[in-house]
Amino acid sequence: MCGQAVKEKQETQDKQDIQERARTLTFEILRYNPQVKGETPKMKTYQVKEAPGMTIFIALNEIREYQDPSLQFDFVCRAGICGSCGMVINGAPGLACRTLTANYPDGVIKLLPLPGFELIGDLSVNTGKVFRAMSERVESWIHDKHADNVDLDKLEETMDPDTADEIYELERCVECGVCLAACATKRMRDDFLGAAGFMRLARYAVDPRDKRSDEEFYDIIGDDDGVFGCMTLLGCEDYCPKDLPHQTRIAYLRRKMAFAKRS
Ligand code: FES
């Protein structure tokens, strides 16, 4: 037998060994389609053979492909970038595509949709609606008072590299909704803006091109539905899949707003 054939035989044997040793995972998944009249929420159990490096997302795909094509869940990027696959995994909100099944030693994984969002079906929720409302509320665009007299022939304005880095860091939020689902204040008070909204506003507050004053920012977040309503329970910081420094930013905004004088 030539070297190549020996190598291939060994690889096939290794694959078989891995498959034989693989655990069988048990998934308990909430099934509910609010569009179907008379349907009630129920938990359904599925079993999946674990593969090396398997994520919750891969397991869900296997279930949908080979066991139950009606299972609803969202994904786009499979890489923790689009923020679509947020769900509650064994009681903790997180991204399915960034969570390894190996993190669950007993092999039992319970999946629920993120709370606080409109349910589309099963594990799929409408985060877009909430984030659109948030963007409108914080007026998520550069407020340049001279925007009407823009000289399009002018060279692009320069920005201090440290400020650009700071803005870049604040824009890493993928709007997955995990911080809002993990926030007890948001769960109690629907009008509370929440960490993703504060992060967005902080981005404009450090941007020198945005000419809004602290007083104007105060009018958006200077009350209990804004930055003063945060009870510092740290859910946003603990569960953010992008490890964003939510509490530091909230503390920064709170200090800034405490000094802002309302006209
Ligand atoms: S699929 Fe895009 S973040 Fe998980």
The domain segmentation of the chain, as residue ranges, is 18-125, 138-259
CA separation for the pair 250, 67 (Å, rounded): 44
**Statement: residue 262 has pLDDT above 70:** no
CB 242 less than 6 A from any atom of ligand 1: no
CB 83 less than 6 A from any atom of ligand 1: yes
CB 114 less than 6 A from any atom of ligand 1: no
Confidence of residue 5 (pLDDT cuts 50, 70, 90): confident
Strands of the sheet with 92-95, listed across from one edge: 42-49, 24-31, 108-112, 86-89, 92-95
Domain 138-259 -> CATH class: mainly alpha
pTM of the predicted protein model = 0.87
**Statement: residue 2 has pLDDT above 90:** no
Q: Can you tell me the mean pLDDT for 92-118?
A: 97
Neighbouring C-beta atoms of residue 142, cutoff 10 Å: 12
CA separation for the pair 61, 54 (Å, rounded): 11
Atom of ligand 1 nearest to the CA of 86: 4
Domain 18-125 -> CATH class: alpha beta
Q: For CA atoms 225, 228, 229, 232, give the dihedral sign.
A: positive
Confidence of residue 67 (pLDDT cuts 50, 70, 90): very high
CB 75 less than 6 A from any atom of ligand 1: yes
**Cβ atoms of residues 102 and 19 within 8 Å:** no
**Statement: residue 261 has pLDDT above 80:** no
What is the per-residue pLDDT for 20?
A: 64
Q: Over the chain, what is the mean pLDDT? A: 92
What is the per-residue pLDDT for 157?
A: 82
